[in-house]
Chain A
Amino acid sequence: MVAALVAQAGAATSTIPSLSGAPAASAVTTAVPGTDPNAINTIATPPIDWSAIMPMVVLFAGAVLLITVTSLMRRKPKGFYAAWTIITVLIAMATAVPLWARVQGWTDIAGQTAFLGLEYQPPFFGPFSAVAGAVGVDGFTIFATFVICISVALGALAADSYLRREGLEGPEFYVLMLISAAGGVLLASSNDLIALFLGLETMSIAVYVMAAMHLKRVQSQEAGMKYFVLGAFSSAFLLYGIAMLYGATGTTNLIGMKNVLSATIPLNNALLMLGFGFVLVGLGFKVSAVPFHSWSPDVYDGAPTPAVVYMASGVKVAAFAGMVRVFVVAFGQYAADWQPIVYALAVLSLAGGAVLGAVQTNVKRMLAYSSISHAGFLLMAVEASNGVGTSALLFYLAVYVFMVAGAFGVAALVGRQGDGRHSLDDYRGLGRTNPLLSASLVVFLLAQAGVPFTSGFLAKFYAIGAAVSAGSTYLAVVAVISSVIAAFIYLRIIVAMYMSEGGDGGAELRPTPEDHIRVPATAGFGIALCVLVTIGFGLFPDTLTRLSEQATPALVEEVTPPGSGQATAGGPTGPIAVDPTGGGSPGGATGAPAGGPGG
């Protein structure tokens, strides 16, 4: 696959004309197939731009090293795992900074300077693809990488005291979270549907385990089981969709697909449409859009709360990033075909999340339904299928991570020993026993409701603006109405915390001093950070708005630097990627392993 991808990457036409002197078209062929008798034994591996995939490598290496180091250490200092995780994440983010500089063309930083002692001179500036066109690096990818990394850090902050409290202390949770994040970054940066699938699975499989991690709780096992079965079901659908898109276009590479689709009218349009539908079903499950949402309240309710912190933020970010890459970026010209489906999903999620959430009595389930409603807003930004929608989506995701991580972070503390006290009654009187904790929960809930001067307001504002800009006015109306209904969910929790006597259910529980919840330093720090960011981006959103506008996705073919010895020959790009005659033309040079059996 890899070799053929190189061939296709070379032949693909650039969609972004910013690459000055891109040598793709002038690449020379170094090997002539047919002359080498050992051609079948030599696999032309693509050049790997390690800097492009460094965030993934760091996250994965951090996970592997963490489990290795902790198995060798006799006694671990308190909070060692969480500290390791956060440091890993910070390094991963640091490696993404030069990439951002390179993509945005900050010559003063990435142009001639050394990074971490390494002389680093990028061959060109602007978005690019790496690893045979399987991984795309653009502003969108790096923005999503940052957001995913932040959600891992917030998950680790919430998990540290939680795991110790529940007697689950160990490196596994953090290792799984880091691996899952590496998968999420791959998903967000995939330029190839197979890379997308691998990223999605790496991300999901780790999260299945995290959901089932609390072995003492029946609910946790049940959550893990349900998540696993429905997750596997949805990935099978996604994969079937990928197979159909492959059948319709003859490639799994998004760049190749885009080129094929813009150059020719596909032979089999039904396959293409089925592929869109199946891929949307698969991704719809992951972002928990109605009607594929049935797992999410159960899983959010049953899974250990720090796992939910990550699951509700990081996993969703990655899944939405993947959705944008596939539909908005690669299949943007077929928007008329997939937009109605996304439109319907958005309407259903907006309405369903708000209405079903309003009748819940369990706070974690309420938050789960509210996150379904948020998925509706995000789908609305996807549905717009334009630059406004993409930056609205990124802004929304960035602030959403803090709102949802903070809210579930508070829930992790209020759940107390055993992680079972999540009913609305358990929140009664929290305003008196824990004023700071409940005040921060109020901030997160108001932000989720979209109250002005919080980040949530602008997020919803931009998402609705994107829908209007794309002409989906009715969708915007539905969004506004549903956010009014959803406000009821949040107000119910706030009322329970501050007006515990009488009203709203009855049960009169007078809080005693023993009800005071001790807030551990790490969890408290995480929640405080979320509060600061939620209010901070509400008051001063300019930086984030600018960043989300700069973070545009792009599909750019891979460009190998001249003289690297790798031939990016202009192979055929049609549905038939390999010359059936055995690759006799020099054009199919790097397709040698693929062409071998035919010759």
Chain B
Amino acid sequence: MTNLDVPYLVLAGGLFAVGAFGLLYRRNPLVMLMCVELMLNAVNLTFVTFGRMMNDLNGQVIVFFVLVVAAAEVVVGLAIIVAVIRRRPGASADDLKVLRG
């Protein structure tokens, strides 16, 4: 383990936190989607860093799996956002309040 890699873990943690807070704070559906991507990529960075620290290639291979999943998620997320925006142009997450109880 080299300590040189630790800053990357910290950076990844920071990115993850930025993504998480952004998702909770921002109301634009597209920005929320970007925040999810940021979180997933922060995890990717974590995987790569751990893989490097332990001299293990698995950490880097996992990133490909995550990328594929993230791509699939974006496809579905964008489709849902498009369906919502078509119906209510300019809708933000605050406009989604039909379901209450």
Interface residues of A (CB under 8 A from B): 1, 4, 194, 197-198, 201, 205, 208-209, 212, 215, 218-219, 221-226, 228-229, 232-233, 235-236, 239-240, 243-244, 246-247, 250-252, 297-298, 301-302, 360-362, 365, 575-578, 580, 593-594, 597-598
Q: Is the CB of B73 within 8 A of A577?
A: no
B83 within 8 Å of A by Cβ?
A: yes
Q: Is the CB of A243 within 8 A of B76?
A: no
Given contacts A201-B72, A236-B43, A240-B42, contact A301 B101 (CB under 8 A): yes
Chain A residues closer than 8 Å to B79, beta-carbon distance: 209
Chain B residue at minimum C-beta to C-beta distance from A239: B43
Known A221-B83, A233-B36; 19 more pairs at CB < 8 Å? A4-B57, A4-B58, A194-B65, A223-B99, A225-B29, A225-B81, A225-B93, A225-B96, A229-B32, A232-B77, A233-B23, A236-B16, A240-B39, A246-B62, A247-B53, A297-B99, A576-B54, A578-B56, A597-B57
14 contacts between A and B (CB under 8 A): A198-B69, A201-B69, A208-B76, A221-B83, A221-B84, A225-B96, A229-B36, A229-B77, A232-B33, A239-B66, A246-B62, A250-B54, A252-B58, A302-B98
List residues 28-56 of chain B with CB under 8 A from any CB of chain A: 29, 32-33, 36, 39-40, 42-43, 46-47, 50, 53-56
- The docked-state distance in angstroms from the alpha carbon of A593 to that of B56 is 11
Chain B residues closer than 8 Å to A250, beta-carbon distance: 54, 56
Given contacts A208-B80, A239-B66, A250-B54, contact A233 B43 (CB under 8 A): no
**Chain A nearest CB, measured from B95 CB (Å):** 9
Q: Is the CB of B58 within 8 A of A302?
A: no
- The docked-state distance in angstroms from the alpha carbon of A229 to that of B57 is 31
Q: Which of A218, A246, A360, A365 contacts B47 (CB 8 A)?
A: A246
Chain A residues closer than 8 Å to B93, beta-carbon distance: 225, 229
Q: Is the CB of B58 within 8 A of A222?
A: no
Interface residues of B (CB under 8 A from A): 9, 16, 19-20, 23, 29, 32-33, 36, 39-40, 42-43, 46-47, 50, 53-59, 61-62, 65-66, 69, 72-73, 76-77, 79-81, 83-84, 87-88, 93, 96-99, 101
Q: Is the CB of A1 within 8 A of B62?
A: yes
Chain B residues closer than 8 Å to A218, beta-carbon distance: 87-88, 98
- The docked-state distance in angstroms from the alpha carbon of A209 to that of B79 is 9
- The docked-state distance in angstroms from the alpha carbon of A209 to that of B78 is 11
**Among the interface residues B19, B29, B99, which one has the most CB atoms of the partner chain A within 10 A?**
B99
Given contacts A225-B80, A243-B43, A301-B101, contact A197 B61 (CB under 8 A): no
- The docked-state distance in angstroms from the alpha carbon of A275 to that of B61 is 20
**Chain A nearest CB, measured from B13 CB (Å):** 9
Q: Is the CB of A243 within 8 A of B77?
A: no
Given contacts A218-B98, A236-B43, A302-B98, contact A212 B58 (CB under 8 A): no
- The docked-state distance in angstroms from the alpha carbon of A201 to that of B80 is 16
- The docked-state distance in angstroms from the alpha carbon of A598 to that of B60 is 14
Q: Is the CB of A360 within 8 A of B101?
A: yes
Chain B residues closer than 8 Å to A575, beta-carbon distance: 54, 56
Chain B residues closer than 8 Å to A362, beta-carbon distance: 101
**Among the interface residues A228, A362, A575, which one has the most CB atoms of the partner chain B within 10 A?**
A228
Q: Is the CB of A243 within 8 A of B46?
A: yes
- The docked-state distance in angstroms from the alpha carbon of A297 to that of B98 is 12
CB-CB nearest 10 A-B residue pairs = A236-B39, A247-B50, A1-B61, A594-B57, A298-B99, A243-B46, A232-B36, A222-B96, A1-B58, A201-B69
**Chain A nearest CB, measured from B80 CB (Å):** 5
Chain B residue at minimum C-beta to C-beta distance from A369: B101
Given contacts A4-B57, A232-B36, A594-B58, contact A302 B80 (CB under 8 A): no
Chain B residues closer than 8 Å to A244, beta-carbon distance: 46
Chain A residues closer than 8 Å to B56, beta-carbon distance: 4, 250-251, 575-578, 594
Given contacts A229-B23, A233-B36, A239-B40, contact A219 B58 (CB under 8 A): no
Chain B residue at minimum C-beta to C-beta distance from A229: B32
**Among the interface residues A219, A252, A362, which one has the most CB atoms of the partner chain B within 10 A?**
A252
Q: Is the CB of A194 within 8 A of B84?
A: no
- The docked-state distance in angstroms from the alpha carbon of A219 to that of B96 is 9
Chain B residues closer than 8 Å to A219, beta-carbon distance: 98-99
Q: Is the CB of A228 within 8 A of B76?
A: yes
Chain A residue at minimum C-beta to C-beta distance from B69: A201
- The docked-state distance in angstroms from the alpha carbon of A221 to that of B99 is 11
**Chain B nearest CB, measured from A296 CB (Å):** 11
Chain A residue at minimum C-beta to C-beta distance from B1: A267
**Chain B nearest CB, measured from A250 CB (Å):** 5
Q: Which of A197, A235, A598 contacts B55 (CB 8 A)?
A: A598
**Among the interface residues A198, A251, A577, A597, which one has the most CB atoms of the partner chain B within 10 A?**
A577
**Chain B nearest CB, measured from A231 CB (Å):** 9
